[in-house]
């Protein structure tokens, strides 16, 4: 199994908090790698919320090709962080080129574009860079999005934190998602490492999605260029989230109805039975087959946790006003927010979606038995 820890905070905090939680839970993962998402950035990035940030790993030749490509697209570097790699190698951590975190000025003329068009172009550029990198094995790109940094690497999370210098204040963030990765289903590939991100929507999962093939086939048939890649059976959770909230114009309270619909008897008792019956029929290929615990974030930086019907993967949400943690194990919460009221910890059940909004004041539970907030 993997171990997950996510943190949402009113003020920027160090990613080392989430990495510390992974270390406490290390008996549940094999130290084969770590994926890290940072949003709601503090420090120098706080003054450039609209600037897309490119995150990835590049060889010297890859950097040269990247620079030519980005200049051709009209992007100029606005700010960058250099993660200096120690001269001495660390066992189990591959020796690579440059871990890139670079914010760009938007090209001339983009200020007249609608936000949807800007978002589409940023996604297509990320996909093009990935394609270029896969062709010559000199670029790995994890994200190209405003106010977003993603770091992924093979190795023990705590060792990686020291190796990459992740304690630096420029990386402090209000939204942090971290997964200690245990590679059980596929060959090691950094594109298979959680979290997964698409146009502001992000998820990470502890579990196994045995319904992967029909889900992938359905998504790829939607004629949306971002639904591709799929080095991991868990990447589809992020894409289903995007499809549900953007493609179908639903709210987060409907996400569980897509991936784990109610049984027929319960469905017919629901106040939105007619709509949910139609949704269940039309989105049947998106129904997951777990066990899975999914933690995710939305573009407004809300954070949520859901379980599938089997509920065989642990998950707990707890904290205090100003900071909440989403964790695979209670010991992860204890390590990061020890002074919370532990009697208020919530372990979401199979019909629950636990949500903390960006103001970080409380955990809200919406249940599948409740009426939906449907668009007018």
> What is the rounded average pLDDT for all residues in the chain?
93
Tell me how far apart the alpha carbons of residues 34 and 11 are, in angstroms, rounded to a whole number: 24
pLDDT reading at 247 higher than 90: yes
**Mind giving me the DSSP string for 9-52?**
EEEEE-THHHHHHHHHTGGGS-SS-EEEEEEEE-GGGGG-TTSE
Whether the pLDDT of residue 235 is over 80: the answer is: yes
Output the pLDDT for position 138.
95
Domain edges within the chain: 3-33+176-367
Give the number of other Cβ atoms within 10 Å of residue 176's Cβ.
30
What's residue 173's pLDDT? Answer: 98
Q: Please provide the distance, in angstroms rounded to a whole number, between the alpha carbons at the two ends of the chain.
A: 41
372: pLDDT strictly greater than 70:
yes
pLDDT for res 187: 58
Instruction: Name the pLDDT band for 374 (thresholds 50, 70, 90).
Output: confident
Q: Measuring CA to CA, how many Å separate 246 from each of 214, 238, 250?
A: 20, 12, 7
pLDDT-derived band at 1 (thresholds 50, 70, 90) equals: low
**Can you tell me whether residue 79 is helix, strand or coil?**
strand
Report domain 3-33+176-367's class: alpha beta
Q: Which residues pair with 205 in a beta bridge?
A: 294
Tell me the pLDDT band of 83, cut-offs 50, 70 and 90.
confident
The predicted pLDDT at position 30 comes to 56
Residue written as token pair 């045995």: 210
Query: Where does the pLDDT of residue 23 fall: very low under 50, low under 70, confident under 90, or very high at 90 and above?
Result: very high
Cα–Cα distance measured from residue 25 to residue 20, given in angstroms and rounded to the nearest whole number? 9
pLDDT at 2: 78
């Amino acid at each position: 199994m993997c171990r997950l820890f996510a943190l949402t905070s009113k003020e920027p905090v160090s990613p080392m908090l989430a990495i510390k939680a992974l270390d406490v839970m290390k008996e549940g993962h094999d130290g084969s790698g770590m994926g890290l998402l940072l949003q709601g950035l503090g420090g120098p990035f706080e003054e450039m919320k609209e600037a897309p940030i490119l995150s990835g790993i590049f060889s010297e030749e890859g950097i040269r090709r990247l620079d030519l490509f980005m200049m051709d697209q009209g992007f100029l570097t606005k700010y960058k962080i250099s993660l200096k790699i120690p001269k001495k190698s660390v066992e189990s951590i591959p020796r690579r080129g440059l871990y890139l975190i670079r914010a760009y000025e938007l090209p001339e003329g983009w200020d007249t574009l609608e936000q949807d068009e800007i978002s589409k172009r940023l996604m297509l550029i990320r996909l093009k860079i990935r394609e270029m990198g896969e062709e010559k094995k000199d670029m790995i790109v994890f994200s190209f999005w405003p106010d977003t940094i993603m770091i992924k690497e093979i190795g023990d999370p705590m060792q990686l934190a020291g190796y990459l210098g992740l304690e630096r204040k420029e990386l402090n963030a209000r939204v942090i998602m971290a997964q200690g990765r245990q590679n059980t289903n596929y060959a090691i590939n950094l594109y298979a490492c959680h979290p997964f991100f698409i146009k502001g929507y992000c998820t990470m999962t502890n579990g196994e999605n045995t319904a992967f093939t029909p889900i992938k086939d359905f998504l790829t048939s939607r004629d949306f260029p971002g639904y591709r890649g799929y080095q991991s059976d868990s990447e589809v959770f992020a894409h289903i989230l995007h499809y549900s909230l953007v493609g179908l114009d639903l709210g987060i309270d409907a996400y569980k109805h897509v991936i784990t619909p109610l049984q027929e008897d319960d469905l017919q008792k629901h106040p939105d039975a007619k709509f949910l019956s139609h949704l269940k029929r039309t989105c049947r290929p998106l129904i997951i087959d777990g066990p899975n615990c999914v933690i995710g974030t939305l573009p407004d930086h809300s954070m949520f946790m859901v379980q599938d019907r089997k509920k065989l993967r642990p998950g707990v949400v707890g904290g205090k006003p100003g900071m909440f943690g989403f964790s695979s194990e209670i010991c992860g919460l204890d390590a990061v927010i020890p002074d919370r009221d532990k009697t208020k910890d919530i372990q979401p059940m199979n019909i629950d979606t636990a949500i903390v909004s960006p103001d970080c004041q409380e955990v809200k539970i919406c249940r599948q038995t409740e009426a939906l907030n449907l668009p007018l």
